[in-house]
Amino acid sequence: MNPRTLNPSMSSLLAFEASARHGSFTRAAEELSLSQSAVSRQVQSLEELLGVELFDRVGRHITLTDVGRTYSLEVNGALARIRDATVQAIAYRSGGGSLHLAVLPAFGSKWLLPRLSDFYARYPEILIHIHSRVGTVEFTGTSLDAAICVGDGLWHGLNAHKLVDEDLVPVVGGDQEIAERYKSIEDLRKALLLRVAARPNLWLEWFKCQGAKTDRLRLGPHFELTTHLIQAVSSGIGVGLVPRFLVRDELANGTLRIPFESNSPTGTAYYLVIPPHKAAYRPMAVFRDWLIEQLD
């Protein structure tokens, strides 16, 4: 296949993207400071190159065809990544730039976001774009520069910087009467055990780690987010198993209690995971050092 077919001109892609977004060649032309006929010709040239119609034309009205709609989604993402890369390249001259960071929702809302004001006060030239992610994070084909994940630190082909041990603890509602119900592992066997959907077997691992039986446990409902599970425990619905550092505020103000100390079963930790080619990027290095400093 002719390489030119796979590499349309930037002007034709911009004309197509603006026309698709506005649903109008005229409005696209106004945005791009071109004539309506110039935008129309650029789109027509792109259609001829691809060998498909991207728009249905009825008089002056245009609507995306099925293939046009699919192509638009891909082109939008590609142009957004090009714009972001350009902004970062320009900002590099002054040592600034931006990062796209994937974060587990609970870590983001309960730990990272309350501290970001300190980062911006010290490094106002760097922007951190937060993306909530649950489960495996993929870097290929995305704009993500780094991620904060839970694991054993072994991510093939990625740089992993340990932040804090997971240290899972059972928590109950802060009411003294509720706390009195759970003084031992045997008491927890009778409790409604709330779970995070991404890790449904965590309670089983915890009981095994304590040397306790895992039969006849009251495994309760799943929650997609750890923050929702924490709220459910606070309201007295059941017992949760959560990282200690994520509930320090609730433990301090009495909203939650740890009924008794126990062993944490996982041996896992929170890590900042970075693709190797991003590691030397100054905003990344600055954010990494600041993050590790905060958790010392």
296 residues of the chain, pLDDT tens digit each: 565 667 889 999 999 999 999 999 999 999 999 999 999 999 999 999 999 999 999 887 899 999 999 999 999 888 887 877 776 666 555 556 889 999 999 999 999 999 999 999 999 989 999 999 887 778 877 788 999 999 888 888 899 999 988 899 999 998 877 778 888 899 998 899 999 998 999 999 999 999 998 888 999 999 999 999 999 999 999 999 999 999 999 999 999 999 988 887 777 899 999 999 888 888 999 999 999 999 87
Among candidates 171, 149, 169, 122, which has minimal Cα distance to 265? Answer: 169
Strands 126-132 and 192-196: unpaired
Please identify, in words, the CATH class of the domain defined by 3-90.
mainly alpha
* Domain pair 3-90 / 168-257, same fold: no
For the domain covering 168-257, report its CATH number.
Answer: 3.40.190.10
Architecture of domain 98-165+269-295: 3-Layer(aba) Sandwich (3.40)
Cross-strand bridge partners of residue 159: 274
Among candidates 149, 178, 204, 147, which has minimal Cα distance to 258? Answer: 178
Query: In the chain, where are the structural domains located?
Result: 3-90, 98-165+269-295, 168-257
For the chain, helix (H) and strand (E) counts, in that order, are 13, 12
pTM for this one?
0.67
Q: DSSP letter for 224, please.
A: S
**CA distances, 184 to each of 129, 179, 181, 189, 209 (Å):** 43, 11, 9, 9, 14
Contact 182, 188 (CB under 8 A): yes
Distance, in Å, from the CA atom of 296 to the CA atom of 293, rounded to the nearest integer, reads 5
